[in-house]
């Protein structure tokens, strides 16, 4: 892969995450509604973290045919729903309410001591999900990860492969960013390639600094979000709330 992106990614700025939510909820709903009209269903892939909270709460109130929408996690910590760090719990509490409660939800936690143990079950669970998703909502960590594509993690090569399985097991190196929860499961680049709408959301100056670093020179393995930022096909639209 090249050491630096060939051109600069687009960036939209907002005063705060509420303003970002108001700006993005309608185009996301339109994209989902268009997919429903075209093929009878839509797929929305969502991330955890605090940044999308206002967006999910706003999107949950949008009146579309949510019964024809599948909501799938972009990634998950290897914890049970209800336990600290669960992305499933976060999404159920913020997005899967009101009209959006009628959507089908696909979580990524399965039985097994590790993500590698549970991977076959998760792979079977997502087998009937239409990839790529119509809309993907991503975030960025201070270390340059997105989804659970962590720097130099075990399983990163599988996660970044442009073809192959839609899910991968990850064991990240423990850092301040990962905390103790280093075992993850994630959608792969192969699963996301070709999404009609890909959004990268970030909030605050620390995350903006991480984005600026990722846009600079350096190996993809050091800041895996570079795999998308350097892609002509899959570069996400970037939205930054101050």
Which domain CATH number covers 181? 3.40.50.1360
How confident is residue 8, by pLDDT bands cut at 50, 70 and 90? low
In whole angstroms, give the CA distance from residue 226 to residue 203: 18
Look at residue 4 and tell me if it is in a domain.
no
Q: Is the confidence at residue 74, as pLDDT, over 70?
A: yes
Look at residue 40 and tell me if it is in a domain.
yes
Domain residue limits at 204: 11-240
Look at residue 177 and tell me if it is in a domain.
yes
How confident is residue 54, by pLDDT bands cut at 50, 70 and 90? very high
Radius of gyration of the chain (CA): 17
Look at residue 217 and tell me if it is in a domain.
yes
The answer to whether the peptide bond before residue 132 is cis (omega within 30 degrees of 0) is yes
130-188 pLDDT, tens digit per residue, is: 999 999 999 999 999 999 999 999 999 999 999 999 999 999 999 999 999 999 999 99
Look at residue 191 and tell me if it is in a domain.
yes
Give the N- to C-terminal CA distance of the chain in Å, as an integer. Answer: 31
Tell me the two tokens of residue 11.
């960036």
What's the total number of domains in the chain?
Answer: 1
Which one, of 139, 138, 217, lies nearest residue 177 by Cα?
139
Q: Residues 6 or more apart from 90 whose CB is under 8 A from it? A: 48
pTM score: 0.95
pLDDT at 204: 97
pLDDT at 1: 35
Query: What percent of the chain is modeled with pLDDT above 70?
Result: 96
Q: Is the confidence at residue 66, as pLDDT, over 90?
A: yes
Look at residue 109 and tell me if it is in a domain.
yes
pLDDT at 126: 98
Q: Is the confidence at residue 53, as pLDDT, over 50?
A: yes
DSSP 150-211: -TT-BTHHHHH-SSS-SEEEEEPPP-TTTTT--EEEEE-HHHHTT-SEEEEEEESHHHHHHH
Tell me the average pLDDT across 81-106.
Answer: 97
217 in Cβ contact with 4 (< 8 Å): yes
Look at residue 5 and tell me if it is in a domain.
no
Look at residue 6 and tell me if it is in a domain.
no
In whole angstroms, give the CA distance from residue 169 to residue 118: 9
Q: Is the confidence at residue 2, as pLDDT, over 80?
A: no
How confident is residue 10, by pLDDT bands cut at 50, 70 and 90? confident
Residue at token pair 């929860």: 181
């Amino acid at each position: 892969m090249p050491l630096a992106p060939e051109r600069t990614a687009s960036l939209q700025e907002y005063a705060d995450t509420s303003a970002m939510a108001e700006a993005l909820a309608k185009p996301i709903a339109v994209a989902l509604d268009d997919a429903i009209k075209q093929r009878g269903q839509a797929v929305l892939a969502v991330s955890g973290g605090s940044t999308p909270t206002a967006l999910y709460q706003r999107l949950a109130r949008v009146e579309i045919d949510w019964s024809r929408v599948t909501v799938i996690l972009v990634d998950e910590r290897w914890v049970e729903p209800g336990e600290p760090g669960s992305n499933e719990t976060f999404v159920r509490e913020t997005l899967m309410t009101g009209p959006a409660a009628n959507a089908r939800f696909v979580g990524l936690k399965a039985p097994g001591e590790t993500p590698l143990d549970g991977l076959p079950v998760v792979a079977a669970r997502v087998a009937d999900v239409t990839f790529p998703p119509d809309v993907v909502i991503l975030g960025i960590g201070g270390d340059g990860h997105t989804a659970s594509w962590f720097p130099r993690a075990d399983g990163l090569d599988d996660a970044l492969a442009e073809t192959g399985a839609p899910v991968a097991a990850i064991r990240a190196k423990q850092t301040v960013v990962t905390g103790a929860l280093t075992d993850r499961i994630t959608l792969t680049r192969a699963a996301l390639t070709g999404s009609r709408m890909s959004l990268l959301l970030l909030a605050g100056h620390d995350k903006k600094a991480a984005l600026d670093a990722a846009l600079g020179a350096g190996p993809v393995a050091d800041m895996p979000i570079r795999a998308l930022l350097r892609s002509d096909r899959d570069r996400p639209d970037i939205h930054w709330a101050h």
